[in-house]
Amino acid sequence: MTIKALHDDLIDNEWTSILVNKARTWENFGRETGIHIEGDYSSYHCQFSGEMKLNGGLLKISGHRNFVDVPIGLDKYVEVFTLEYTQPAAVPISSKNVKVYRRGLIGGLLFSFSGMKRHDLGEKLLLGYMRYEDLQKFHSIEIHKLKKLESLTIKPAFLKAQYGTLFDRKEELEQIKRIIDNLKMLSA
């Protein structure tokens, strides 16, 4: 369970220290939750992935932060965090009763023809649901409470959420632990 430096000669600057801190944060998160995490970092990126068995299913988490060199001299980075849950029996939410739609013309049209009720999931997504009980079950997982939800996939044996940031604050990590606990309870 380690996230290792790719080189011994890391550049000593603020950017590198951010990457090292993120690597250590996720290494500690793996130890606390029992998720086997592997990864690496350098002066320009940090990446990791991990998995654990969860009630006969498999929970996978992964993340990365990469430095992107923009031609006009600006420093930019790209971050992504992904949480996947595969359960052969079925994930806790029925994909027949709950569907995720992207905002925009096509997503709006698909939603309007679905006959489902609407629930907003931030700037980019909306949730269609058939019954209020389906919405409550979705809310009980709390997967939507983390900021910057970019995409959400719900299929019969698969649940995947992708976020536009690599979480490292204590309250965010506690929320991820709650999501894992909620998945344990709902899929038991």
Q: What percent of the chain has pLDDT over 90?
A: 39
Q: How many CB atoms lie within 10 A of CB 136?
A: 10
b/e 25-39 (16+ beta carbons within 10 angstroms → b):
bbbebbeebebebeb
The model's pTM is: 0.86
Note the pLDDT of residue 81: 95
- Residue 1 pLDDT grade (very low, low, confident, very high; cuts 50, 70, 90): low
- d(CA 83, CA 76) in angstroms, rounded, equals 24
Among the residue ranges 65-69, 73-77, 105-109, the one predicted with the least confidence is 73-77
Q: Describe the strand order of the beta sheet including 98-102 as a list of residue ranges.
A: 98-102, 125-129, 117-120
Above 80 in pLDDT, residue 126? yes
12 has a pLDDT exceeding 90: no
Quick check: 188 pLDDT over 70? no
User: Is the pLDDT score of 37 beyond 90?
Assistant: yes
The pLDDT, as a whole number, for residue 82 is 95
CA distances from 114 to 52, 102, 152 (A): 35, 14, 18
Residue 88 has pLDDT above 80, yes or no: no
Count how many domains the chain has: 1
Q: Which residue segment(s) compose the domain that 164 sits in?
A: 3-187
pLDDT-based confidence at residue 19 (cuts at 50, 70, 90):
confident
pLDDT of residue 68: 79
Predicted pLDDT of residue 34: 92
CA 57 to chain centre: 17
pLDDT over threshold 70, residue 73: no
Select the more confidently predicted residue: 89 or 98: 98
Grade residue 90 by pLDDT with cuts at 50, 70 and 90.
low
